[in-house]
Amino acid sequence: MTFVVTDNCIRCKFTDCVEVCPVDCFREGPNFMVIDPDECIDCALCEPECPANAIHSEDDLTEQQKPFLALNAELSKKWPVLTTNKGGLPDAEQWKGVPDKLQYLDRGE
């Protein structure tokens, strides 16, 4: 079991989530954050911290969110650990709640 960062994080990346994780499993990309499923201990502390409501248990993912389970697993092996809150992206508030943001994902490649 793991928690998963979904669509709502893209282009917002508020980073409030990273400071509460007791096992440092958040990994940072250019405009998205992911959780390493091999590190997550399923504590649920991060879920209420996200202002964009982007974090969910894998058991609670909608059909639209399910691809993010594999995406978190894949990108968490490529991106570096982040443990300090650095604030959201400059236009995070404008992108908060905008649907279908997967098309804007920057994999940093």
Give the three-class secondary structure for 27: strand
CB of 8 to ligand F3S, least distance (A): 6
* Site for ligand F3S contains 13 (CB under 6 A): yes
Choices 14-22, 58-66, 73-81, 101-109 (CB under 6 A): range interacting with ligand F3S: 14-22
Residue 82, binding choice from ligand SF4, ligand F3S, none, Cβ under 5 to 8 Å by partner class? none
Query: CA angle 94-97-103, nearest 5°?
Result: 85
* Site for ligand F3S contains 4 (CB under 6 A): no
Nearest CA to 40 among 74, 72, 87?
Answer: 72
Query: CA angle 97-68-6, nearest 5°?
Result: 25
Binder among 52, 58, 79, 101 for ligand F3S (CB under 6 A):
52
* Site for ligand F3S contains 72 (CB under 6 A): no
* Site for ligand F3S contains 54 (CB under 6 A): yes
Contact footprint for ligand F3S (CB under 6 A) = 5, 9, 12-17, 33, 49-50, 52, 54-55
